[in-house]
Structure 1
Amino acid sequence: MHIVIMGCGRVGAMLARGLEKRGHSVAVVDVNPEAFRRLGSDFQGTTVKGVGFDREVLEEAGIRQADGFAAVSSGDNSNILAARVVREGYHVDNVVARIYDQGRAAVYERLGIPTVATVRWTVGQVLRRLLPEGSEPVWRDASGNVHLLQVFVHEGWVGRRIRELSAAAHAPIPFMVRVGKGLVPDSETVFQDGDMIFVGCETDRTSDIETLFATAPARH
């Protein structure tokens, strides 16, 4: 995957390095070229000076070939503007914006722009939204035998009931997030576009569950 990141502060730099370590190509955009020092001398990706909502800058960063875009600069307005330009102008569906104001974040979630509103766990949250596999557990028991995973779900599952997702995974789905709000689903809850599910599973089944939900379900 090719990912474009706007903002090379601590979050943007950590995100870029994390993606590169996972084998993805990365382009980082920032108005301050000095910020690119945070990436380290071993960073192999592309760096572009400029603002992330400038089309020339975005195209230099490879937005036309991008599989995902993360706006993680320090400005809410810039992040949202860039996210909208990328999503509406370049039709990149896999977009996430970092928003400091949680109230505004909820508004943009309703407009279909996934946001990360809290500073804590920002890098991990953005990674889990961008990547279909390789998510980290949000909780594990003391023995390390059981995990609660926040799992990316392919759009092909939209319209299926939670009991169908649970049955396919052979694991419970005790919790989900919809439009920025937590929800305890029942068996008849229908999975909707933009929902994020949490799956409880044994540690050694993590990869199987991530792989299952990274692709569309088989047709009956």
Structure 2
Amino acid sequence: MAVETIAVGAEGVYRPQHDSWLLIDALERSGAVVGRRVVDLCAGSGVVAIAAAELGATAVTALDISPCAVRCSQANALAAQVEVETRLASWSQALEHEPFDVVVCNPPYVPVGPDTVAGAVPAADPMGAWDGGPDGRRVLDPLCASASDMVADGGALFLVQSEFADVDRSLKALRDSGLDADICATQRIPFGPVLHAQAGWLRDTGRLTEARTEEQLVVIRADKR
């Protein structure tokens, strides 16, 4: 896709990685965004929002709390020659608008140990882009609980996360909110700098066996009938 060829990164902005591309691939294979209103939560560089526009969405909104990310999204959308409305806003502010046909999100989901501080992983992206709190659920829990209110009837949520942030808990929360939720895509990838830095703590808390150096990424699709 054209989105892969533009300058999607910027200093202080989450760079598109395996999770971004897995989410885009799931959207493309689903055909769910064609002719639909889409919102990209925790948009970062805007790469997923741009992909949605290229895939035929009629309107795309990208939300992020980082001014750097909003500027990056705007620049990338301009470079890709697509219409994306970018807003400086928390993911939860999507609830202030009419429900969207498709909600996509690549939230912070990495479980972070109590001794981790900003700048502790110098080769990685900004900590706010991946810090999911002690269990990785700081954003995932409230997002899953309120997802049904963001999605229009007949619409869907596409959410990417790591196995280490408890996929079953996300599925249960989405189903409890009234959505039909299932895994629609998976990918196993080597640890990046963030998980390498957290590996000792993940082992100490029983979430990682000594020999593991890979994680499984999962895209969940949750439909509102």
Alignment TM-score, normalising by the size of structure 1 = 0.44
Q: Indicate the structure (1 or 2) with the bigger Cα radius of gyration.
A: 1
Bigger relative contact order, structure 1 or 2 (CA pairs below 8 A, ≥6 apart): 2
